[in-house]
Chain A
Amino acid sequence: MADHDPDSDSTPRTLLRRVLDTADPRTPRRPRSARAGAQRRALLETASSRRSSSQTKMTTRRHSHGARSISRSAYVQASGHLKEQTPRTLLKNILLTAPESSILMPKSVVKPVPAPQVVQPSRRESSLGSLELQLPELEPPTTLAPGLLAPGRRKQRLRLSMFQQGVDQGLPLSQEPQRNADASSLTSSLNLTFATPLQPQSVQRPGLARRPPARRAVDVGAFLQDLRDTSLAPPNIVLEDTQPFSQPTVGCSPRVYRSPPCMPHTGAEDTELAAGCKKRSSGPGMQTNSPEKLAQFLAGEAEEVDAFALDFLSTSSGVSGEDGVEPLQDGVEEAEKRMEEEGVSVSEMEATGAQGPSRAEEPEGHTEVTEAEESQGTAEAKGPGASSGDEDASDRAARPELVSSTPESLQARRHHQFLEPDPPPGAAVLSSEPAEPLLVRRPPRPGTTGPRPQQDPHKAGLSHYVKFFSFYAKMPMERKALEMVEKCLDKYFQHLCDDLEVFAAHAGRKTVKPEDVELLMRRQGLVTDQVSLHVLVERYLPLEYRQLLIPCASSGNSVFPAQ
């Protein structure tokens, strides 16, 4: 228990002392160490109490001297139990033995220094293992110490400078005859090895040493391989997501959410069938076509056409009841008039089988596929003639399955289309083709406003808000939940329009003005006395809309927007 100078209360020594104060001793040999520990603790407490008071160094020296003399006895007792190598004991030994400061100390202090030094040489050696103390009489317990003293080691290193100073001063004074050899050897060895505390630690604990960052050399081969892999990927994407058809797929997707149960099924079936047709057609096409690239091109076009046909399918799926089915049938009839003689085979197949109205949509889709492909192949329309007549008769009847028919018809068609210069005109025809069936189809639908304009943009607009919903929610959502959101939005729109009408009527107007909408928002509780409409506009709307809504003065005494 040495010491402590009140001057340097925050020395490592004091810190260690506090550590020792607070922690409990846990040595196996309780009875012996308990006594010593109790004595030590008592001495520590007294020393600490003295430490807290600010005193001159000399007085503290005397106090510490007194404490030391007492502690010396305690340590002499404990010295017999050198085998208890607890960190506590070791640290205490350090505190005892190491002189505090560089101030010259009276001889009385010197005496206790070598005594405890000699008594606890083994401990100190193990505690300051880095100092490599070699003492003849005591075994160096090196194994236990380093692991235990890891936390204290840092503090020890901090105190080394003080220690060294003290030892330097203690060295000339410690010429006591009694344990001269030991002390001198100790101090000399101490002096020698102060400079190398860090290295042995790293040797003992290789993990703690700072290693240079391991940098792997760039594997050029792997890099090039990755490049090649990624370059392979895009072509698939290009095929699947061609620009002109992105919109129909977008239009398709919200429709997937729709309530009519049969629709999703038919939609799924149609996609599967279309894909199957595509594959089957491309398969036999590949085999039979002499110019293979022709077949590939046709297959590619078939994909695009299928994608477009899906759009037609989905639009047709939007048809309620058979009203839409019939006009579509009529439209398909007219389109089929452009079919070639292969259409005869188609009509034959059409004559077979009778399907219900739900199935009617499938064959419609496939007839669209077929007629699109056929028309693509036949830039020169050959006389439809009997083929169309046959088809008209069969059209009114339930549509047969064209699933199996389409690949065969496609195959048959390909036989005839070899001779035609397909690729350039095919592309041109294809681009014009999608437009024409649309135009062809619109006039035959006079009665119905067409569910398509009803649903498509409505769904598209609602999906806009649904996206906002999922964005604000920041959580994954179910599809049904999104459908529910759409329904809620519909209801909200209805309420909104009713309210706006009431407000406008109240103001005697027939036009709904922004003031009405502001009043609505105020009633909803969005606009309050604290939160004004402009604040909301600034918060939620982008800049361009803000300029339109909030009047702003500009140069020349003009306000935009004009009030």
Chain B
Amino acid sequence: MALSTTVSQRKQIKRKAPRGFLKRVFKRQKPQLRLEKSGDLLVHLSCLLFVHRLAEESRTNACENKCGVINKEHVLAAAKVILKKSRG
């Protein structure tokens, strides 16, 4: 559906939500439940926000260690924090 082309960034990010993928994952996890049609869009939104927070946190970690590259450890530490936060 919607493809966003950003002029400033090198890569072009497709903002399409992988609706089939999300539905399949949900079905695989909870086959007894059903997901409404707009529900997966909101799930996609929450995943985006999760990834966003994760990226911010790992970028902060990397900058604190004065690394120019995001390492596995940065991501790991960030994930611990963010997963705890988004436990709900």
Contacts and interface: CB of A to CB of B under 8 A. Distances in A.
Nearest to B47: A465
A513 B35 CA distance: 7
Contacts of A501: 30, 33
Given A457-B24, A475-B69, A512-B39, A541 B88 contact: no
Contact of B34 (A511, A526, A548): A511
Nearest to A488: B79
Contacts of B71: 478, 480-481
A501 B38 CA distance: 16
A277 to B, nearest CB: 34
A294 B14 CA distance: 41
Nearest to B13: A471
Contacts of A543: 2
B88 A545 contact: no
A523 interface: yes
Interface string A478-519: 101101110011011111110111001000001111101110
Query: Most A CB atoms within 10 A — which of B22, B26, B42, B48?
Result: B42
Contact of B2 (A504, A520, A544): A544
Interface residues of B, number: 59
A484 to B, nearest CB: 4
Given A475-B68, A542-B15, A513 B36 contact: yes
Nearest to B56: A472
Interface in A444-479: 457-458, 460-461, 464-465, 467-478
B22 A476 contact: no
Interface string A220-250: 0000000000000000000000000000000
A471 B25 contact: no
A537 interface: yes
Given A492-B50, A540-B49, A542-B1, A458 B25 contact: yes
B13 A481 contact: no
Contact of B51 (A468, A499, A500, A561): A468
A470 B59 CA distance: 10
Interface string B50-65: 1110111011001000
A213 interface: no
A541 B4 CA distance: 11
Contacts of A491: 79, 83
A500 B33 contact: yes
Given A540-B45, A545-B2, A488 B69 contact: no
Interface string A6-48: 0000000000000000000000000000000000000000000
Contacts of A499: 88
Nearest to A453: B24
A475 B42 contact: no
A475 B66 CA distance: 12
Given A501-B33, A526-B46, A520 B88 contact: yes
B47 A492 contact: yes
Nearest to A523: B88
B72 to A, nearest CB: 4
A427 interface: no
A204 to B, nearest CB: 47
A517 B75 contact: no
B29 A497 contact: yes
Interface of B: 1-2, 4, 9, 11, 13-18, 20-22, 24-26, 29-30, 32-36, 38-39, 41-52, 54-56, 58-59, 62, 68-72, 74-76, 79, 82-83, 85-88
Given A457-B21, A526-B46, 17 more contacts: A472-B52, A472-B56, A473-B55, A476-B68, A477-B70, A488-B54, A496-B46, A496-B47, A511-B35, A512-B35, A514-B36, A520-B88, A521-B46, A536-B45, A541-B41, A541-B45, A548-B41
7 contacts: A473-B55, A475-B62, A495-B88, A512-B39, A517-B46, A520-B88, A524-B85
The 9 A-B residue pairs whose C-beta atoms are closest, nearest first, are A461-B21, A542-B2, A472-B55, A523-B88, A517-B42, A497-B29, A473-B55, A511-B34, A488-B79
